[in-house]
Structure 1
Amino acid sequence: MNAAIRWGWIGVVLVFVAAGVIFAFRATDTADTTDASSTAAPSTAASPTAFVDPNPDQPTKSEIVVAVEGGRPAAGYTVEEAGQASSCYRRKDGQEDGLASCSAGVDVCWAGPEPTTLLCGLKAWEKKLARRVADGPIKEIDASGYEPPPWGLELANGAKCVRRTGGSWGGRADGLIGAYSCEGASGIVLDGDDPLLDQSKPAWTVKVGPLGDDPTTVFPPPEKIRVVTAYFAKSSA
Structure 2
Amino acid sequence: MKAAGFIVSVGMLCAVSVAGCSTEDGTAQPETTTVRGGSWGSGVPATELPGAGGPTTAPVQPPVITVDPTTPGPRPTGQGAPSSVPGTTAPRPPVATDVVSLVAVDAAGQPANGFTSADPTPVGVLDCSHMSPSRSATTAGIYECGASADSANVCWAAPGRASLLCANDPWQRGLRLYTVDPPVADIGRTASPEPWALELADGRHCRIRVGGAWGGRADGLVGAYSCDGGNDVVLQPSTARTAIDTSTSTWLVKIGPLGSGAPDFPAPAIVAVRTAYFAAVS
Contact 1:111 1:119 in 2 (8 A): yes
| Residue of 167, 188, 206 corresponding to 2:212 | 167
Q: Give a deviation string over 1:84-104, Cα, whole Å, max 9, x none.
A: 132222529983421112222
- Structure 1: where are the runs of 5+ without partners? 1-50
Aligned counterparts of 1:76 and 1:92: Cα–Cα separation in 2: 21
Q: Is the alpha carbon distance of 1:129 and 1:149 closer, same or farther for their aligned partners in structure 2, counting shifts above 3 Å?
A: same
- For 2:111, the equivalent position in structure 1 comes to 73
* 1:201 positional shift: 1.6
Q: Counterpart amino acid of 2:273?
A: V
Higher helix share: 1
Alpha carbons 1:90, 1:140 under 8 Å: kept: no
* 2:247 is aligned with 1:200: yes
Decide which of 83, 98, 101 is 2:141's aligned counterpart.
98
Given residue 274 of structure 2, which amino acid in structure 1 is its aligned partner?
V
1:213 is the counterpart of 2:256: no
Q: Check conservation: 2:161, 2:185, Cα contact below 8 A.
A: no
Counterparts in 2 of 1:225 and 1:85: CA distance versus 1, 3 Å: farther
The 8 Å contact of residues 225 and 235 in structure 2, kept in 1 or not, is answered as: yes
1:147-198 per-position Cα deviation (integer Å, ceiling 9, x unaligned) = 1210000001111011001011111111111000111344000111554111
Matches within 5 A, 1:70-219: 70=107, 71-81=109-119, 82-88=122-128, 89-91=131-133, 95-103=138-146, 104-138=150-184, 144=190, 146-192=191-237, 193=239, 195-214=242-261, 216-219=262-265
Amino acid at match of 1:132: Y
Residue-by-residue CA offset, 1:5-34 (whole Å, 9 max, x unaligned): xxxxxxxxxxxxxxxxxxxxxxxxxxxxxx
RMSD of equivalent CA atoms: 2.7
Higher RCO (CA < 8 A, seq sep 6+): 1
Q: Distance in 2 between matches of 1:56 and 1:198?
A: 17
SS of 1:197's equivalent in the other structure is coil
Counterpart Cα distance in 1 of 2:132 and 2:106: 16
- Please, what TM-score do these two structures have when normalized by structure 1? 0.69
| Matched letter for residue 85 of structure 1 | V
Structure 1 residue 56: deviation in Å? 6.5
Q: Which amino acid aligns with 1:105?
A: S
Cα–Cα, structure 1 residues 174 and 141, in superposed 2: closer, same or farther, change >3 Å? farther
In the superposition, the TM-score normalised over structure 2's length comes to 0.58
Structure 1 or 2: larger strand share? 1
Q: Secondary structure at the match of 1:69?
A: coil
1:85-143 residue CA offsets vs partner (Å, 9 max, x unmatched): 32222529983421112222211010113421111111123332111112444366665
Task: Quote how far apart the aligned CAs of 1:52 are.
Answer: 6.0
Letter in 2 for 1:74: A
